[in-house]
Structure 1
Amino acid sequence: MAHLAVLTGAWLVLATQSALAAQKEAPLSMRCAEFAGAVLPPELIALPTAGAQIESASMVGATAPGNQQGGEYCRITGRVKALKPTTPDIRFDLNLPRHWNGRALQVGGGGYNGVVVSGTGVMPFSPDRAPLAQGYATFGDDSGHVGDSSLAVFGLVDEAVTNFGYAHLKKTHDAALALIARAYGRPPQRMYFAGGSTGGREGYTVMQRFPDDYDGVIANSPALNFSGVRLIGVKVGQAEYATPGGFIPPLLLERVYQRTLAVCDRLDGAADGIVSDVAACRAHETEIVDSLRCAGSALSRDECLTDAQLATLMVLRDGLSLPYRLAWDVSGYHGYNVFQGTHLNGSLGLGHQAQRLAVPKFFANGYLFAQGDGYLRYFVARDADFDSLRFDPQHPGKYRAQLVALSQTIGAMNPDLARYMARGGKLITLQGLADEVISPNQTIAYREALVDRYGVDEVDRFMRLYMVPGFQHGSGAFVPSVDLLGALDRWVTRGASPETLIATDIAAATNGRSRPLCRYPLFPRYVGKGNVNLASSFVCAEP
């Protein structure tokens, strides 16, 4: 077979009978190396690019070191070329299994991305068998810049910001689709997307912007209102580091968490270290706060919280309200379940040291503040020396237009999913009720906006939302493992809509126990008898 110097648009449609026959005669192991050095012209990619270049292509043997997928596959690496020489390319990986199931899965990134998503591993919070091992062609990218997920410096480059916001998803999708069609002689029968956090935002982005490209999406803990979550991070940092006495030592954050458990753990009928009935717990919030307050208390200051420290927590609880509108009429960011079982003393919680670093770091100064600070420096002010502690999100002045523009590019808050729904696209979102990074109430609010727009019956035809008690942003008192990809595929291909799912806890301390994952707004309530570590001892109840 001739070397694939250039792939043309003909490979985006079904191949001729002779071409199909040629594909069947030549095994993937022979065709794989031919992709190395291939060029994809710009017309194969719907958004403006300078085309794509394949850098390497080689078979990975079933017994090759590091291959835990249980099968042979062709690994292709490449880059989608940027329009401007000062803009980084979009680096991507594509994995083509020898035994293909006819489906493709695009995998999202995390944080500010910057690292190529290989697509070879097990999906987060899913059973051990990776999609590639199940026969999926998988692919992912770095969103168009290089660096770890905490770096926001690329915000200085317009084309890189657009790529990060949405364009990398389409550009990588189109390049991968052309290569998959060329490798197998036909395009995928089903195209799925899966991701969490930033990858969750990306999942909502592809439904909103590219609804014709995907049959199903898994979008967990989605960073939907990206500008909003970054601005509330700045407000929290200001409460901790620009307000006298606002910093809360880790021991006091632990006390807050333990107090919420003491009051709310048993409200679901089981003493299991999980606050499941968040609504009932919220009714006890005043009691919890009063018991933590130093005023009128005989407790020493290392056992109670001052008014300034409680005010810091209230910034998180109350969320952010803006006197102006971001894109899609967004006017703020919803608050967190601070007093309903959210642990703020972990690696993604609030700050662990009382002094603010010149460039805030996740553990030292808190994840939300560090990420928000970087967003203001590089995306909004575009000034590496900008002081986020002196910025007023409610009155951004000359930066307001940039904030609004960024919320349009990155925000993923457009409630218009009519095209995706009409095509029969499906969505599964799993979100922790104790998430300390992405407010669970923001995720709920987006679903409620869909219900207001389309009605609950229409939303239920295409969406499943599972709010998970005790689950934080990748950790928590309960960390669910559940086969969401299998549930999505059965829904798309067989019409078997998922209802209650059973999740196994993979948290180190409680590994192996199970709980039902209840469709929102239901939550798991203990029936009063039976093994508390078994899902069968719980029912999905109304709050």
Structure 2
Amino acid sequence: MSIRHGFAIATALGGTALAALAAIPGAAQGDTVPTAASCTALAQAALPNVEIGTAELVPAGPFTRPAGGPPQAGEPPVLPAHCLVRGTIDRRIGFGGREFGIGFELRLPLEWNGRFLFQGGGGLDGVLNPSIGAVANSGGPPALARGFAVVGTDSGHTGSIVDASFGLDQQARTDYAYNALDEVTQEAKRLIRHFYGAGPAYSYFVGCSNGGRQGLVASQHLPLEFDGIVAGDPAQGFSRLGLGEAWNMRTLARAAPRDADGRPIYARAFSQGDLDLVKGAVLNQCDALDGLADGFINDWRSCSFHPRTLVCERGKTESCLSPVQAEVLHELMTGPMTADGRHVYGPFTYDTGIASSAWRGMRLGTSETGQPNSADSFLGLNMLRYLQLTPPDPAWDPLAADWTVDQMLARIRYQGGIGDGDNPLLSTYALRGKMIVYNGLSDQGMSTPEIIRWHEAMVAATGQAGADAVRFFAVPGMLHCGGGEATDRFEMLDAIVDWVEHGRAPDRIEATSSTIPGVSRPLCPHPLVARYKGGDRNAASSFACEA
């Protein structure tokens, strides 16, 4: 909490109110009965730096996604009656005359379970998603429908989740990195106390992708604010991600044919047949390492696949890779390295998702011209240009520039210092908080070994308390935050609540599949993996979590 914000909260509540709140820790409901009137009254409860534009009661009923939002998948969830609050913190005019402010949306159920949940964002944020507490990978009801008060934020700027231009503004960089989490957490808790007459008994953070990064950042920058955190597929080494994706473009260009102007056609660097070939070879070598050839590579750490085994003995055919393709693919999966041999971001695991449209969309795109359309070429490159390089360099070209990885690391270190979620010291958070981190082994953007390196560094820096407070789960076959040939449906919110409130650490989490009916598998905490012990090959009960 900033000193300014903390002083404002104390002034607004007064000493008597603070003492009363302290007297009812753990209460599920305060002494205030929430009503429509107490909801609309929140519009007048704003601090000087906070504008509340909406404070209205929403009746119980099916959730209707706002116009312009992504399409609703499946039946809309039924939400309880709740108070909807939208506001902006620290509205200002920033660099280039652009308007900035930390937007937030808070939903307060009339029947409250005493819990608060911060809903993580995605991509580069810039949008205020409905704060219903949709839990990635769950398939169950959103947190609001479970009785949680839920808040979310646009992280201090408006735009699209792939628009990095806000990075030209110094404060907007800081807000996106961590400050919006701090400001919105404090304001949400203040409004909760105002509405219910008591603060939350337990506070949680749940997010995936950038939301996963935010969860890790919350544990590192705000170690006293959250009792439980779920960080899925986290963009943890955020400053190095953009560098890695620019490096991917330069590396892939070696295997791509050129157009008439000499520009690489990335989509043709590997055909779908090439990627299917790699997938089949990976399965053939690594699938049965866990005791069962079933399409899931559980024992991924024992998988030592190298694409050199697929190199053509003579000319290139559909049944082999050219020497350049094998070399480039190996480098892509290894990731950029420093001159002294340290990983910058990576390596990535060979898994079934390498033949997916998601992997192609991330690395290759579909453009049949020299104008690329891969996620690396627009999202990753613009992140680097606008948000991660200091100073920003919107014209920087990874193919035209003469650069080394070590030189670029020097240019991104400033933003990395405030926005990366890789600080290993959790000595304060581990005293009372718990955290679940997970990642898909087929995630096309996030590296599982990268996250494990952080986890091991965290245990070394924090000690046994860190080992007891944080568990990591790898999800075989899962793409970024879901999908793939995977058991990608699992209930992490229930798991973190059970761990925080009842002390039951998750020794295994049962997962089902959104794409493969009738299959379940256990997700195992690192360093354990699921091994087949006999019985029904489709059932999680036939697998044990073992080294």
TM-score, normalised to structure 1, is 0.86
What are the residue-to-residue correspondences of 1:314-325 with 2, within 5 Å? 314-323=330-339
Please name the residue that 1:346 is paired with.
Answer: 357
Cα contact 1:501–1:518 (8 A) shared by 2: yes
What amino acid is aligned across from residue 499 of structure 1 in structure 2? Answer: D
Residues 127, 158 of structure 2: 8 Å contact kept? yes
Match of 1:405 among 414, 417, 424: 414
The answer to whether the aligner puts 1:145 opposite 2:145 as a matched pair is no
Distance in 1 (CA, whole Å) between partners of 2:90 and 2:546 is: 51
| Equivalent residue, structure 2, for 1:68 | 77
Shift of 1:259: 2.1
Helix, strand or coil at the partner of 2:78 = coil
Letter aligned with residue 531 of structure 1: D
Amino acid of the residue matched to residue 107 of structure 2? N
Pick from 532, 536, 541 the counterpart of residue 536 of structure 1. Answer: 541
Q: 3-state SS of the aligned residue for 1:169? A: helix
1:311-348 Cα offsets, whole Å, 9 max, x none, are: 221222222222499xxxx962221013x434253234
Which amino acid in the other structure matches residue 183 of structure 1? F
Q: Which shows bigger deviation, 406-415 or 267-276?
A: 267-276
Please name the residue that 2:319 is paired with: 303
The offset of 1:215, in angstroms, is 1.1
Partner residue in 1 for 2:57: 59
In the alignment, which residue of structure 1 is the partner of 2:3?
none
Greater Cα shift, 315-324 or 107-116: 315-324
Structure 1 residue 184: deviation in Å? 0.5
Tell me if 1:486 matches 2:494.
Answer: yes
- The CA RMSD measured in Å over matched residues stands at 2.8
Q: Distance in 2 between matches of 1:269 and 1:160?
A: 50
Once the two structures are TM-superposed, the CA of residue 368 in structure 1 deviates from its matched residue by 3.4
Q: Which of 416, 420, 423 is the matching residue for 1:414?
A: 423
Distance in 2 (CA, whole Å) between partners of 1:331 and 1:537 is: 37
Letter in 1 for 2:357: G
* Map of 1:11 onto structure 2: 13
1:130-529 alignment runs, 5 A limit: 130-241=142-253, 245=257, 247-282=269-304, 285-286=305-306, 289-294=307-312, 296-297=313-314, 300-323=316-339, 332-338=344-350, 340-347=351-358, 348-353=361-366, 358=371, 360-361=372-373, 365=374, 367-379=375-387, 380=389, 382-391=392-401, 394=404, 397=407, 401-422=410-431, 424-455=432-463, 457-473=464-480, 474-506=482-514, 508=515, 510-528=516-534
Structure 1, unaligned runs of 5 or more: 1-5, 42-50
Q: Look up the match of 1:44.
A: none
Deviation per residue, 1:29-88 (Å, 9 max, x gap): 2211122364323xxxxxxxxx11111011111136637334111111111124544451
Contact 1:104 1:191 in 2 (8 A): yes
**Residues 1:429 and 1:95: Cα distance change in structure 2 (over 3 Å):** same
Query: Residue 101 of structure 1 is aligned with which of 101, 105, 113?
Result: 113
Q: Deviations over 1:76-119 (max 9, x none)?
A: 11111245444511111100011111110001111111111322
Moved more, 519-528 or 77-86: 77-86
Q: Deviation digits for residues 514-535 of structure 1, max 9, x if unmatched?
A: 111111111111113x221110
Residue identity (%): 31
Out of 107, 115, 123, which is 1:111 matched to? 123
Number of aligned residue pairs = 505
Whole-Å Cα distance in 1 between the matches of residues 302 and 519 of structure 2? 24
Other structure's SS at 1:464 match? strand
CA distance in 1, matches of 2:119, 2:369: 35
Q: What code does the residue aligned with 1:421 have? A: A
Distance 1:535 1:477 in 2: 16
Give the residue type in structure 2 aligned to 1:350: R
Structure 1 residues 128-183: Cα deviation after superposition (integer angstroms, max 9, x where no partner) = 12111111100001111222222211111111111111111001111111111100
**Counterpart of 2:399 in 1: which secondary structure?**
helix
Instruction: Note the 1:25-36 alignment, pairs <5 A.
Output: 26-36=33-43
| Alignment check: 8 A CA contact 2:192 2:200 kept | yes
Maintained 8 Å contact 1:92/1:139: yes
Residues 308 and 499 of structure 1, relative CA distance in 2, 3 Å threshold:
same
Q: Is the 8 A contact 1:80 1:91 kept in 2?
A: yes
CA contact (8 A) 2:212 2:233 kept: yes
Query: Equivalents in 1 of 2:170, 2:309: separation in Å?
Result: 49
Q: Is the 8 A contact 1:87 1:160 kept in 2?
A: no
Distance in 1, matches of 2:30 and 2:460, equals: 49
- Cα distance in 2 for partners of 1:164, 1:393 equals 27
CA displacement at 1:370 relative to structure 2: 3.1
After superposition, the C-alpha distances for 1:198-252 in whole angstroms (9 at most, x for unaligned) are 1111111011111111111111111111122221111111122366558222331
Closer, same or farther: CA 63–537 of 1 in aligned 2, 3 Å = same
Name the structure 2 match of 1:81: 90
Question: Take 1:303 and 1:431, find their aligned partners in 2: how far apart are those partners?
Answer: 31
Q: Secondary structure at the match of 1:203?
A: helix
Whichever residue aligns with residue 346 of structure 1, its letter is: S
Letter in 1 for 2:324: A
Give 3-state SS (helix, strand or coil) of 1:211's partner.
Answer: coil
Match of 2:70 in 1: none
Farther off after superposition, 488-497 or 340-349: 340-349
Describe the shift of the 1:281–1:71 C-alpha distance in structure 2 as closer, same or farther (beyond 3 A): same
- How far apart are the structure 1 equivalents of 2:409 and 2:533? 52
Partner of 1:45: none
Which shows bigger deviation, 145-154 or 59-68? 59-68
Cα separation, partners in 2 of 1:17 and 1:435, compared to 1, 3 Å: closer
**CA distance, structure 2, for counterparts of residue 56 and residue 176 of structure 1:** 14
Distance 1:324 1:291 in 2: 27
Q: Check conservation: 1:208, 1:417, Cα contact below 8 A.
A: yes
Contact 1:78 1:93 in 2 (8 A): yes
**AA in 2 matched with 1:262:** N
Distance in 2 (alpha carbons) for counterparts of 1:114 and 1:324: 38
Q: Deviations over 1:275-300 (max 9, x none)?
A: 11213322xx24xx244212x157x4
* Inter-partner Cα distance in structure 2 for 1:242 and 1:52: 52
Aligned CA distance change for structure 1 residues 224 and 356 (closer, same or farther; 3 Å): farther
Quote the offset at 1:512 in angstroms.
3.9
